[in-house]
Amino acid sequence: MEDDYKSFLQSLDDSQLISHISSLSQSQVKTQKDKEIIGSDAFDDSFNEYLTRHIPGVVGDEKNPKEDDEAQGVLDDTVEQNPGENAPEPINELLDELNEEFSDDQGSNDDEIGPMHGFGDYEIYFDNKHKKQQQGDKNYIEWDKTRRILQGEDEYREPIFKGCVIFVNGHTIPSMNEIHRLVIIHGGKFLSYLGAKRNATHIICDRLTPRKQQIYKNCKVVKAKWIADSVEKGYLLDWKEYRLFKEIAYDQGRLSDFHNEFALKQFNMEEDDDIEMQEDSLEEEELSQEEKEAVQERAIDAKHPDFLNQFFSKSRLHHLSMWKSDLKLQFINKVKKSKHEVSKRVTRVAHIDFDCFFATASCQKTSYDINEVPLAVSHGQTTSDVASCNYVARKSGVKNGTWVRSARRLCPDLIVIPYEFDLYEKYANCLYNYLISLNVDIYPVSIDEALIDLSDYEGDLSQWCEMVRGEIFRLTKCPVSIGIGANILLAKLSLRRAKPNGYHILETGVDDFLSTVSVSDLPGVGYSLMDKVIAETGKSSPTITDLLRVPKERLMKVLGPKTGQKLYDYSRGIDPTNLDHTAERKSVSVDINYGIRFDTHAQVEDFLSRLAVEVSKRLKNLNVVGSQVTLKLAKRDPDSPVNPPKYLGMGKCIFFNKSAKLGLPTSQPGIISSELKSLARILTIPAQELRGIAVAIGKLEDADEVKKNRQMTLNQRITKGTRTLKKIDESDFKEPLDDEIDWQVFESLPWDIKREIKAELSRRGIIQKSASSSPGPKKNGKAYLQQLLPTATTQEPKYVRIVESPKKVSPKKLSPQKRSRTGSPTKVEEDLSYDSSILNELPSSVKNEVIEDMAIRKKYKPQTLKEKFKESVKQTKVANQPITKQWIDEQPKINEVPKFQNGDIGEMIVGWMEMSLDQDGPHNDDVEMFFEYLKCLKFDKIKRVEILISKEIKYYKSIEAMLGPKHCTALKEWDGVVDRIRKLNIF
DNA sequence: CCCAATTGGTAG
DNA sequence: CATCGCTACCAATTGGG
Ligand SMILES: Nc1ccn([C@H]2C[C@H](O)[C@@H](COP(=O)(O)OP(=O)(O)OP(=O)(O)O)O2)c(=O)n1
Ligand SMILES: [Mg+2]
Ligand SMILES: [Mg+2]
């Protein structure tokens, strides 16, 4: 539990953390004032207990759920009252009574969410429900919401089951009633009785019978735990993980005899509701249009909380990257153990690599003959990437990384087979374990590929190759090829010659060998460099021989100094790179350029939080902290269609990067998330236009080192140049934000909460770690705005993390109207992998898709000098545009209200208002400071703040009946604030 | 000239 | 249904002093 709370704290933004503390403080103040301390745990329980004792006719024992039929069937038509309207008032009284009754009850205060039990309220409700189930559900949701507000719980429930239509069959745990409740309060629809099961998106069922299997064989039949787990997690889990039927697709064998027997018994015991089900198909009720859309919109894009997991589990490139970094780690450790030898130049390198690795491995799960049929590993059938294709397919010109559709064009018989990530891992282990057993220096290149230092090997190289190839094939039934050369470059080129299923030892005749090599085969030469070399040599597929004719100066000028030098060396067989695995990692990043489809900025921020959590996880695994945060956003190219050819793909995009320096290196999700959100604000890309988001943490340091150093020389570090602290001196730092936290209130919190919060604050550098006790009492119990405002808008500056130097913010740059890279190309000239004449004959729709894909891969750059010029003109035009009201409105609005660097002013205001309601309105100091802040804002922002506050007031007035007289006074004060803002706006 | 920030490119 | 377009790192460019 404590750990839970700790990680909960860590997941918060700075602003969220502060307001969390405030909310704790607030409730604490309140309860103390009333001489009551009621933990939410005890509260929940007693509340339900109270209800079950006081409301006649209720047997609210959730541990012995009533028979499903009883609960569903007894519909009391005579009770027509609407609990949604009538419940609040009596409940309010109940709450007050309760507070007295249980005033001694010292509950622990650290469980904000409360257990998922005690549903007496639900049962009461359903005993009185209407015959119209759906109306009843709606009322219950309202009633539940009201209850939550009254109980001070978070009124909002994640609409986990939005778009789901749930039907429960037979007895389940949790009970059908409970499932019903959970589903509807989380935005789902429940088909309760005799309903249109055909409309159900999921059938919940815990017990398998042969009949059910038959009837539901085409349905998503899911165990009840799916519901419970999803609610607990707060988002919809993958139903497949909870399917009742065994994976028929993969395991086609019959159920075992034992299983059948067991199932048969079950079947006989079960009440026969299945027949009923077939009969009532006439009685189907239609889903509303809205619900149908919701059901349709089941696509999992980045809005879905489980998106990252699902995406990563299926992304080959993610796997490749993770495997690679794991391997690097593994072999760094190896070197530390034997850190003797001083890096001597290697003289012989072996490069070993599985032939068409994924294809070979995946093929083993099929009955295809890898040597006869053209195969490709891929998820889809058209715009899906070919991860790996076998050599039969390569004969037709298919390459790794092309789209299946393009591959099919070259090789119409191509057969697509699925990924088998586990198998790849297994075989890679075989490879690496075997190499380890050889007791040689291993330098992992990728999952299927490694370099080996053979400088000191004195035996016969051919024999060595045959031995290694033989052993690995014996272990995996996958062929590897080996290339040997005097350096990394030559080993790589040699390997290329060796493939498939062979080896090549390059010792003599290097120049002859090189002369035949194509420039595009050189490592580090991709489409972009290739284009330049083509332009320079005048050949369409230049070889090393062609490259040799270009003088070094020319290469360096055209390609840049380093790249030019590299190609110059490479063309002569020179590669100065030494084998070295001691290289420390310099950055950690998470890139998502798939499935990014957002409607609102709130969704974007949500996703950023999740990315922050992910990147934080990775930092912690590596035990490093970083002080630079970089956000990279991909914006749909204006010329590109809203929906790119690849489903949920990114299409052609323009990238925008922004990085921020942190005051202290960190690995904490909350801090990172804060920073990301503020970077996102600076980049101002409309949520709808986003197609990719990447987060990188740089300036890495060892976490333990930093911890040690910070304790020792906290003060020295401040003046260090690498830390960017704004206008700060030591005294500012020594007691940072101290007076922004109300220590009196803080002290009254339960000790364990205090401990966790304190730890979290000090981790963030907001308070000093050694601060063992809080300073003396300050001010009064009122909530202070200072503790919510990230930094003072007036007076002395406080500790602030720098995002960018303020003067750098030129109004023009705020909205990146950067160049679009291309016009709309209609004709394809020439391309390495596409014959332009064929391409030009394609239907234009397909052609454009192919062009789009090529543009993404940078194979194809339609940009000419002329267009470049046009763009720069366009750019200037944009920059010179007068700033009109309309222009402002057109600018992407990342937020409804402006934000400070470290938090959302909107959230802050809402929080402030909420808090102030319990305290006769806002504190005067706060109001003054607030206006100081407002004065700094632009007109439209102020307007938005005004609207926000008005809306909030309206909301509170709408529930005025439930508020006390005190609250009304507070609201009046807020009315005054709004008036004042209006006056501000006049000037 | 330096530097940092940003953009581009590559491999598997 | 589609589909799962990641990620570390180097180099070049840009734009400031
Ligand atoms: N664009 C790419 C390139 C590679 N891979 C994956 C699939 C490959 O099987 C694996 C190894 O990459 P290789 O470059 O070694 O390619 P193959 O092993 O498929 O072919 P070969 O090594 O025979 O050229 O990485 C991928 O998913 N996408
Ligand atoms: Mg390979
Ligand atoms: Mg490889």
- Prediction pTM value: 0.60
pLDDT at residue A57 in the model: 38
The pLDDT value recorded for residue A915 is 62
Q: From ligand 1's centre to the CA of A954, what distance in Å?
A: 60
CB A198 within 8 A of CB A298: no
pLDDT digits (tens, 9 = 90+) for A317-326: 999 999 999 9
CA angle A158, A162, A164 (to 5 degrees): 135
Give residue-wise pLDDT tens across range A379-431: 999 999 999 999 999 999 999 999 999 999 999 999 999 999 999 999 999 99
- pLDDT value, residue A797: 30
| Mean pLDDT score, A980-986 | 78
Give CA torsion, residues A669, A675, A678, A683, to 10 deg. -100
pLDDT of A18 reads 66
Judged against a pLDDT cut of 90, whether residue A604 lies above it is answered with yes
Evaluate if residue A232 carries a pLDDT over 60. Answer: yes
Q: How confident is the model at residue A749 (pLDDT cuts 50, 70, 90)?
A: low
- Cβ–ligand 1 distance for A948 under 6 Å, the answer no
CA distance A459 to A577: 25
| A881 CB closer than 7 A to any strand C atom | no
**What rounded mean pLDDT belongs to chain A?**
71
Name the nt closest to A379 by C-alpha to C1'.
C3
Contacts (Cβ under 8 Å, ≥6 apart) of A263: A208, A209, A210, A255
Q: Gap from A355 CA to B8 C1', in Å? A: 30
Higher pLDDT, residue A295 or A4: A4
Query: Which pLDDT score, from 0 to 100, does residue A841 have?
Result: 64
Q: Kindly provide the ipTM of the predicted complex, given to two decimals.
A: 0.98
pLDDT tens per residue, range A289-346: 545 444 445 689 999 999 999 999 999 999 999 999 999 999 986 555 555 556 688 9
Nearest CA among A587, A903, A627 for reference residue A740: A903
Q: Which residue is nearest to nucleotide C8 (CA to C1')?
A: A587
pLDDT 10s digits, A509-554? 999 999 999 999 999 999 999 999 999 999 999 999 999 999 999 9
Gap from A356 CA to C4 C1', Å: 21
Tokens standing for A566? Answer: 């590299």
Q: Enumerate residues 6+ apart whose C-beta is below 8 A from A535.
A: none
Average pLDDT over residues A447-461: 96
- Which pLDDT belongs to residue A239? 84
Atom 26 of ligand 1 has which residue's CA nearest to it? A387
Q: Are strands A375-377 and A690-702 parallel, antiparallel or unpaired?
A: unpaired
Residues 684-703/A with CB within 7 Å of nucleic chain C are 692, 694, 696
pLDDT at A167 over 90: no
**Over residues A653-673, mean pLDDT:** 96
Cβ contact A871:A770 at 8 Å:
no
Tokens representing A198 are 């055909």
Pick from A207-221, A268-282, A601-615, A747-761: least confident: A268-282
- Rounded-to-5 percentages of helix, strand, coil across chain A: 50, 10, 40
Q: What pLDDT score does A338 carry? A: 55
- Strand C within 7 A of A138 CB: no
- What is the average per-residue pLDDT within A677-699? 96
Q: Are A547 and A533 in contact (CB under 8 A)?
A: yes
Q: What is the DSSP string of A961-981?
A: GGS-HHHHHHHHHHHHHHHHH
Question: Residue A878: pLDDT above 70?
Answer: no
Answer whether A195's CB lies under 8 Å from A189's CB. no
Rounded-to-integer distance, Cα A125 and Cα A52, Å: 12
pLDDT at A837 (0 to 100)? 60
What does the pLDDT look like over A81-92, one tens digit per residue?
A: 444 433 333 434
User: Could you tell me which of A40, A29, A16, A110 has the C-alpha nearest to residue A756?
Assistant: A110
Q: Looking at per-residue confidence, does A706 or A631 come out higher?
A: A631
pLDDT attached to residue A266:
41
pLDDT for the residue numbered A410? 96
Q: What is the pLDDT of residue A591?
A: 98
Distance between start and end Cα atoms, chain A = 53
Return the closest-CA partner of residue A267 out of A188, A336, A338, A214: A214
Q: Separation of CA A137 and C1' C4 in angstroms?
A: 36
The reply to whether ligand 1 has any atom less than 6 angstroms from the CB of A358 is yes
Lowest mean pLDDT among A1-10, A231-240, A930-939: A1-10
Residue A471, CA distances (Å) to A436, A547, A646, A903 in order: 13, 39, 41, 58
Which bases on strand B have an atom closer than 7 Å to a protein beta carbon?
5-12
Helix (H) or strand (E) holding A695: strand A690-702
Which nucleotide's C1' sits nearest to the alpha carbon of A563? C11
pLDDT attached to residue A176: 80
A483 and A497 Cβ atoms separated by less than 8 Å:
yes
Q: Which residue has the higher pLDDT, A840 or A202?
A: A202
What does the H/E/C string look like for A593-637? CCCCCCCCHHHHHHHHHHHHHHHHHHHHHHCEEEEEEEEEEEEEC
Amino acid A15 reads S
Q: Give the nearest nucleotide to A298, CA to C1'.
A: C1
- Cβ neighbors of A109 (< 8 A, separation 6 or more) are A24, A27, A28, A37, A39, A40, A749, A750, A753
**What integer is the mean pLDDT of A278-282?**
41
Nucleotide with minimal C1' distance from the CA of A448 is B12
Examine the pLDDT at A63 and tell me if it is beyond 90.
no
Cβ < 5 A residues, ion ligand 2: A 353-354, 357, 448
> CA angle, A776 as apex, A775 and A781 as ends, to 5°?
110
CB of A444 within 7 Å of some strand C atom: no
Res. A157 pLDDT band, cuts 50 70 90: confident
Smallest Cα–Cα separation from A646: which of A868, A403, A437, A455?
A403
For a pocket test of ligand 1, which of A321, A358, A527 has the largest count of ligand atoms closer than 8 A to its C-beta?
Answer: A358
pLDDT at A412: 97
pLDDT at A974: 84
Ligand 1 atom with the shortest distance to the CA of A446: 11
Q: What is the mean pLDDT of residues A632-642?
A: 96
**Helix/strand/coil for A221:** strand
Measured distance CA(A573)–CA(A515) in Å, rounded: 10
pLDDT at A839: 65
- Residue A686 neighbours by CB under 8 Å, 6+ apart: A892, A893
Within A242-315, residue ranges assigned H as helices are 257-269, 273-279, 289-296, 307-314
Establish whether residue A448 lines the binding site of ligand 1, counting it when its CB lies within 6 angstroms of any ligand atom: yes
* Residue A861 confidence (pLDDT): 57
| Residue A98 pLDDT level (bands cut at 50, 70, 90) | very low
Q: What is the CA radius of gyration of chain A?
A: 33
Number of other residues whose CB lies within 10 A of the CB of residue A187? 17
Ligand nearest to the CA of A362: 1
* A819 CB and strand C closer than 7 A: no
A817: confidence class by pLDDT, cuts 50, 70, 90? very low
Structure confidence at residue A976 as a pLDDT band (50, 70, 90): confident
Query: What pLDDT does A67 receive?
Result: 39
CA distances to A782, A912, A955 from A23, in Å: 12, 10, 20
Do A902 and A789 touch, CB atoms closer than 8 A?
Answer: no
Spatial separation of the C-alpha atoms in residues A957 and A967, rounded to whole Å: 10
Instruction: Strands of A862-915 (E only): list them.
Output: 899-900, 903-904
Q: What sign results for the dihedral spanned by CA atoms A301, A303, A304, A307?
A: positive
